[in-house]
Amino acid sequence: MRTYHDLPNPPFTAPSNLTIGNFDGVHLGHQTLIRTLIADARAAGHHAGLLTFHPHPTAVLRPEVKHQYLTTIDQRLAIFEALGLDFAVVYPFTRATAATPARQFMAQLRAALNLACLVVGPDFALGRNREGNVEALREFGALDGYKVETIEPQILGDGEVRSGRIRGDLAQDVTLGGTNYGFTCGYSV
């Protein structure tokens, strides 16, 4: 797996399918998303990749809030590689990143990664004030030449498998009652 610590230069010539997120913990929901992305990319003859942010947006936008990572960036990269991704972009998250309009950010990704397809969850959003929700991203994609696909959230027990839920359970020292979110120190693939 190739790893970039910003958008690649020169840009990709081959098309890519991409997902975007923090992927902290790389839990069952993340793994399902990544496996779906890879299968779709392989079927289309595209590269399969992921863009993750570092540091976590909460650490930048709300520094007064203590943020507990579930996995380190190096652990996440190892998991991404084990899952079979072709590339990962570790994008520096700054206040300027947070202020970037969604369409502008997506245009940068389209140009640098030869973006053909974005695969995300149904409540995904990015860009300034999270203005780039799935509906807006589909509109941008129709205009700019990429498609947007969504996968359904993974349900485990009484709710969705989400990093925030896992982090909350760990913070409360909740006995998970056998709940396996799909990671053990980040390495369950």
pLDDT at 131: 94
Q: Name beta bridge partners: 20.
A: 51
Lowest mean pLDDT among 33-42, 137-146, 166-175: 166-175
Question: Between 134 and 176, whose confidence is greater?
Answer: 134
Gap between the Cα atoms of 96 and 154, Å rounded? 32
pTM value is 0.82
Res. 176: pLDDT tops 70: no
Is the previous residue joined to 10 through a cis bond, with omega within 30 degrees of 0? yes
Q: Residue 152 has what pLDDT?
A: 72
Confidence of residue 98 (pLDDT cuts 50, 70, 90): very high
Residues 21, 91: contact at Cβ < 8 Å?
no
pLDDT higher than threshold 70 for residue 179: no
Instruction: Give the mean pLDDT of the chain.
Output: 85
Closest CA to 119 of 86, 141, 143: 141
Q: Quickly state the pLDDT bin for 27 (edges 50, 70, 90).
A: confident
Q: What is the mean pLDDT of residues 18-26?
A: 90
